[in-house]
Amino acid sequence: MAIPVIDMKNIDGADRDAIMAKIAKGCETPGFFQLINHGIDHGLLDRVKVVCAEQYKINREQQFKDSLPVRALNKAIAAEAEGNEVDKIQNMDWEDVFQVHEMCDTNSWPTEPKDFRETIEEFRSQIFALTEKLLEIISLNLGLEKGYVKEAFAGGDKPFFGTKVSHYPPCPRPDLIKGIRPHTDAGGLILLYQDDEVPGLQVLDNGRWIDVQPLRYSIVVNTGDQLEAVSNGKYKSAWHRILPTKNGNRLSVASFYNPSYKAVVSAAPELINLNIADDLSSYPKYLFADYMRVYSEQKYEEKEPRFQAMRKPTEQISY
């Protein structure tokens, strides 16, 4: 079982309708798909892989070796060697992560590798353009104006566009810890450039975990909680997780196009059933900053209570 692979070649030509239909289907189920011929330069993708691997070696590896998850796992392995029964580690992830958008905002780029900044900035700009192109397709697929989702996320300002670079180093005991625990993503649309050799990412599809198969030069796309809200539940954000592996240092570069913190998110009026008075089956209206406050505390829990928490009387909503 694998997630759909969609060829974007001719998206602006004769195959447009067929490709849009595949994207609509991928957004509905399983909420994950991968794109090929997406227009992002393959040479650039190769360079991203190289600078991220160098950055990990130079600036991150030692820190990871000293990190809490590594210490917790080593402790569990030692306890087991002494004959004790050990529990799985539940509250940590076997992951090294750094946020590139914070480097942009604070101009705190690493000095080595020297072409890191230039490569990542070019990558982010191409990913941003591809994301906006997809959001236009998604808006049209939902029967909305082409710019609807982009404008909804901008909230009169501009969207939040972040990039997170993660490594999942070789793990001696993948049975005792997760790479990332199961969760859905908080934001809008997520574009992931993942390792083309080391597997690990899985998505929940009809109650079964299926692999997001490594595929060279592909870009993985998934929908987050905010697209679920805007689409009034048509595009449900999918649960996913990463399993660590014994061999290989898995790379994952995830870029997320989210609403501005000031944006007020709600289901698109065209997608609400107006025949039902005060339709409680529709998604609530809330400030994205409020959602993120709840998400940061409940990321690994069921998502419905997060939306429920946003269902407050109008006078209590902080916008």
Binding site for Fe ion (CB under 5 A): 185
We find the least distance from the C-beta atom of residue 312 to Fe ion, in angstroms, to be: 26
Say which DSSP state 315 is in: G
We find the least distance from the C-beta atom of residue 261 to Fe ion, in angstroms, to be: 19
Question: What are the φ and ψ backbone dihedral angles of 270, each rounded to 5 degrees?
Answer: -65, -20
- Closer residue to Fe ion, CB minimum distance, 47 or 250: 250
DSSP per residue over 205-249, as a string?
ETTEEEE----TT-EEEEE-HHHHHHTTTSSPPPPEEE---SSS-
We find the least distance from the C-beta atom of residue 193 to Fe ion, in angstroms, to be: 14
We find the least distance from the C-beta atom of residue 13 to Fe ion, in angstroms, to be: 33
We find the least distance from the C-beta atom of residue 207 to Fe ion, in angstroms, to be: 19
- Closer residue to Fe ion, CB minimum distance, 19 or 35: 35
The CB density around residue 279, as the number of other CB atoms within 10 Å, is 13
Residue nearest to Fe ion (CB): 185
We find the least distance from the C-beta atom of residue 165 to Fe ion, in angstroms, to be: 14
Residues 6 or more apart in contact with residue 212 via CB below 8 angstroms: 2, 3, 32, 34, 194, 201, 202, 203, 220, 240
- Closer residue to Fe ion, CB minimum distance, 185 or 228: 185
- Closer residue to Fe ion, CB minimum distance, 131 or 282: 131
Q: Which two tokens stand for residue 156?
A: 């009169």
- Closer residue to Fe ion, CB minimum distance, 93 or 185: 185
Residues 6 or more apart in contact with residue 192 via CB below 8 angstroms: 201, 219, 220, 221, 222, 252, 253, 254, 255
- Closer residue to Fe ion, CB minimum distance, 8 or 254: 254
Asked if residue 305 has a cis previous peptide bond (ω within 30° of 0), the answer is no
